[in-house]
Structure 1
Amino acid sequence: MAHDAQHSSSAAMRTRAVTAAAVGTALEWFDFTLYGALAATVLPKLFFPSMDSTSALLASLATFGVGLAARPLGAIICGHLGDKLGRRNLMLGTVTVMGLASMLMGLLPTYDSIGVWAPILLVVLRILQGFALGGESTGAQLMAIEHASADRRGKYSGLLGLCSPLSQIMANGVLLLLASTMSASAFDSYGWRIPFVLSFELVIVGVYIRLKVSETPAFVELRKTEVVHVSSPLRDALRLHWRTVLRWMLFFCGPAAIFYLIVVFSLSYITKTLAIPKQTGFLLLMGANVCAIVGALAGGMLSDRIGRRKALAIGSTATLLMLFVYFQILDTKSFLPMLAAMGFFLGFTQFQSGIQPVAFAEAFPTNVRYSGSALAYTGANLIAGGPMPVLAVWLFSVCHGSPWGVVAVCVAFNVISLIAILTARETLGIDMNRTDSTSAVTGDSNYVSAGIGNGRHT
């Protein structure tokens, strides 16, 4: 009887943990995604009006990249604190910082009102957003994965993977509604501010839900050892697990580059180069993100059946093939083929992102899991994700309107990603409560020499 009650309580906490992680992360991604859509459409003329159209677009997209560049700092600081102090408290802090930065962004005066201070303050708020998301992304993943049972980690991972496309649907849906019901001048004047200001109320909901979740079992076990008291998680992650950090960072460069190519540059390409209305562009992205939700869930669940490595290889191969026909299909300007191309492309990108949380979490022992996972995740976004929209605009201009320069760079990232997957070891079923206690205290690096792990060792 007592055992049944304990089992029921554990199952309820697992459900609560994945719900809190998914809802909070979706709300943070909503704010971050909202900015990405506006950076490609509205913000250039509001915050960089003194530049020509191409330079203004580049400057606006650069502010988007600044947010991504700030993510490693958030990952490093929050990762270190999360490995020392626990996952739960960090998650309350990151969602609050994101909400405040977003609300202030919605109240920010434009260039016409305060001159150069407008883009300066915009960059500062983007840095705060990026810092919060850098700590949030990995922490929420660990909060859910470390609560999950061994046979459902992939499923929980897929549920977390749908946060980004869900936020894309929410953000683009709100923008589509506002753009459809307001005049262009009204939208440019104040309509774009509404989602930023209202998002803070949603963040309060996220904080409330997270207050109901206990600390993860893996970190509770870690507290019983001496490792949490004597180790330096960031130092140990870089010193003892740098191969694992590097491998998974190189893997995620592919999905990160392609993700931002689709959701940021593609919107600019559709609305400016192809002269398709913004409303149609927002609608295409919403449809593609419905496919991305299915892809994230499918990737996570399939990885529970065939393993992380095989499932990731399937997704990476699909996106590699799609790169060679993506822009040709967009150039048809036909809605259904464009929707199918964007849906397939983003679907298989998120197929990999649905596996990423569990693959990263299983790759590291508990005492460096937050730090190591955050370094790999945000490092990939810094190298490939953040620069991609700006790089794509520049390559498109240099190649005189041809997309093949953009395609070549994304193919390179995708090939590197696939190689990293194929050279990794399988981690399905690995013990999540293991710690690097020996190496943290004595400097023994046997765990490192084993690479990512053989999937069964403890």
Structure 2
Amino acid sequence: MSTPQNGPEATPSPTGTYVPAKKDLYKAFAASLSGTTLEWYDFAVYSVSSALILGQLFFPASDPYAATIAAFSTYAVGYISRPLGGIVFGRLGDIIGRKKVLVATLLLIGISTFLIGLLPTYHSIGITAAVLLVILRFAQGVGVGGEWGGAVLLSSEFGDPNKRGFWASAAQIGPPAGNLMANGVLVGLTMALSEDAFYSWGWRITFLLSLALVGFGLWIRLKLEDTPIFQSLQDKGDRAERPITEVFTTQRRQLTAAVLSRIGPDVFYALYTVFILSYSVQREGLSNSTVLSAVLFGSASQIITIPLAGWLSDLFNRRLVYATGAVIAAIWAFLLFPTIHSAPFWVLALSMVVAGTCHSLMYGPQAAFVIEQFHPRLRYTGASLAYTFAGVLGGALAPLMFTVLAGRDQNFVPVATYVTIACVLTLVGLALGRNSVPAEDLQYLQQSTGSDNETHAN
């Protein structure tokens, strides 16, 4: 039997909890955060660019409304391809381990994004430019489909399962951190460059910078061992041989609960980080830099409120905290748009912070809720499938549906109603789901640390 690699520092507690090795736990937290930050930096760069410039560069049309719809349709491709990544990488994560798969997904996401920054536009090579953009966007989505589940497991399976809400939130901080970086770069470029320079070559810089994030993420992940739980599964010969089949035959309710729970947060996130850009510019006449700066405030606040919400879900019932966020988000969807109209910048920024806090109450506990729906031996597959299926039903369609529902007159009421329906589906998912069962993890963690200490004693 192989010896677990987390070291003798990680020991089972006599009170039935688990005390992780701090060094490994902090490295796992950083590895999880860096990967999802890259993932969402890439997606945020594309999201913002879709709303502002990609329609004109790759899908030129005399009607800006039609070009925006075309750009958002390509945005959806990145979500539609996620299930393929979830199936392929989720299965591998439960069979060969979390670490190896996460290295592969990081490379796939980063290289695809970097290549988008090198693409010639429609004016250079015609429709081929749009085709290549769709292919790279598809590859991005495949990588993302396998990234999230593993990133969540990386941080949570090194930590105490009784504090999973906080530690699993490492992967959840990635979206606001990535969004903050993406919008920060875009704001800086729009302020530093002329409009002609930005549309000519400046937009490419945001995509090319992803290579630096890839290098940092690889450096951390290659230094980290696989999670103690997966090592224990490996030692006991308890790894799933056919995890996809098992999830669909034995975990159908859990999968349904996890999928539905994610729809509301995905749709609401698309509302206040993607659609709000085109709405504010086209309907309210605000400048790109003004709206991007306001979104920055909302993203920055979430770096604090997401782990705080995860921590609160450890103190109280996780589903209750999550449900509270869904209810408030459904209400704020109707209040957000009136606050934008003829408002000073500080009101716009405050609106984004409130929206970010609503999202955090759902998104902070989300990672822990999703993975604890599934048994440890099926978690990578189950979490990846839930994440990717929900992405198609929620995030993929949302910007396009918002644009269609708002119409040329930019009517926000149908848009807000759409968000409310998504939040109701999330409440249904939470009702179907189960509460945390730390004992499922502790049996593997205590076996792992116990055998490790015994080996060192001998």
**TM-score where L is the length of structure 1:** 0.91
Which position in structure 1 is the counterpart of 2:98?
87
Counterparts of 2:9 and 2:131, CA distance in 1:
55
Distance 1:63 1:338 in 2: 28
Partner amino acid for 1:359? F
- Provide the C-alpha distance between the structure 1 equivalents of 2:224 and 2:347, rounded to a whole number of angstroms: 44
Tell me the residue number matched to 1:420.
429
SS in 1 for 2:209: helix
Q: Secondary structure at the match of 2:438?
A: coil
**Is the deviation greater in 270-279 or in 337-346?**
337-346
Instruction: State the match for 2:156 in structure 1.
Output: 145
CA distances 1:151-186 after superposition (whole Å, capped 9, x unpaired)? 332111223221100111100000000000000000
Instruction: Give distance in 1, aligned partners of 2:172 and 2:28.
Output: 15
Residue among 340, 355, 367 paired with 1:330: 340
Counterpart of 2:258 (choices 209, 230, 248) is 248
Contact map agreement 1:37 1:264 (CA 8 A) in 2: yes
1:296-324 deviations in whole A, cap 9, x for unaligned? 11110001101311211221122122122
Paired residues in the alignment total: 431
Q: Quick one: percent identity of the two aligned structures?
A: 32
Partner of 1:452: none
Identify if the C-alpha distance between structure 1 residues 363 and 9 changes in structure 2 by more than 3 Å, giving closer, same or farther.
closer
Residue equivalent to 1:438: none
For residue 13 of structure 1, what is the aligned residue in structure 2? 24
Q: What is the TM-score normalised by the length of structure 2?
A: 0.91
Counterpart contact for 1:165–1:290, Cα < 8 Å: yes
Contact 1:307 1:428 survives alignment (8 Å): no
Q: Distance in 2 between matches of 1:9 and 1:300?
A: 18
Indicate yes or no: 2:414 matched with 1:405.
yes
Q: Is the 8 A contact 2:55 2:67 kept in 1?
A: yes
* CA apart distance, 1:4: 7.2
> 5 Å matches for 1:91-130?
91-130=102-141
Segment of structure 1 superposing worse, 42-51 or 85-94 = 42-51
Task: Check if 1:342 corresponds to 2:319.
Answer: no
The one-letter amino acid of 1:276's match is: L
Partner of 1:273: 283
CA offsets 1:38-70 (integer angstroms, 9 cap, x no match): 010011111111352111000001111100111
Q: Point out 4+ residue stretches in structure 1 off by more than 4 angstroms.
A: 3-9
- The aligned runs of 1:31-110 (5 Å cut-off) are 31-110=42-121
SS in 2 for 1:356: helix
- Describe the shift of the 1:9–1:158 C-alpha distance in structure 2 as closer, same or farther (beyond 3 A): closer
The equivalent residue for 1:451 is none
| Greater Cα shift, 187-196 or 149-158 | 149-158
**Equivalent residues of 1:362, 1:430 under 8 A apart:** no
SS at structure 2 position matched to 1:322? helix
Contact 1:359 1:427 in 2 (8 A): yes
The CA deviation at 1:433 is 5.5
Preserved contact between residue 172 and residue 363 of structure 2 (Cα < 8 Å)? yes
Instruction: In structure 1, list runs of 5 or more residues that go unmatched.
Output: 436-458
Residue in 2 that maps onto 1:171: 182
Q: How far apart, in 1, do the equivalents of 2:37 and 2:94 lie?
A: 23
Contact in 2 for aligned 1:30/1:168 (Cα 8 Å): yes
Q: Which secondary structure state, in structure 1, belongs to the residue aligned with residue 120 of structure 2?
A: coil
Equivalent in 224, 235, 245 of residue 245 of structure 2: 235
Corresponding residue number in structure 1 for 2:450:
none
1:354 counterpart SS class: helix
Mapping of residues 342-361 of structure 1, within 5 Å: 342-361=352-371
Q: 1:456 corresponds to which residue?
A: none
In the alignment, the residues of structure 1 paired with residue 20 and residue 331 of structure 2 have an alpha-carbon distance, to the nearest angstrom, of: 46
Gaps of 5+ in 2: 1-6, 12-18, 445-458
- State which drifts further: 311-320 or 133-142: 311-320
Does the residue aligned with 1:425 lie in a helix, a strand or coil?
Answer: coil
Greater mean deviation of Cα atoms: 41-50 or 343-352? 343-352
Higher relative contact order (CA 8 A, sep 6+): 2
Distance 1:390 1:35 in 2: 14
CA contact (8 A) 1:30 1:171 kept: yes
State how far apart, in whole Å, the 1-side matches of 2:254 and 2:262 are. Answer: 12
Give CA deviations for 1:62-109 in whole Å, capped at 9, x if unaligned.
111100111111111100111111100000001111111111100000
Counterpart for residue 362 of structure 1: 372
Deviation at 1:428, TM superposition (A): 5.5
Deviation at 1:5, TM superposition (A): 4.8
CA distance in 2, matches of 1:410, 1:37: 20
**Secondary structure at the residue paired with 2:372?**
helix
* RMSD of aligned residue pairs (Cα, Å): 1.8
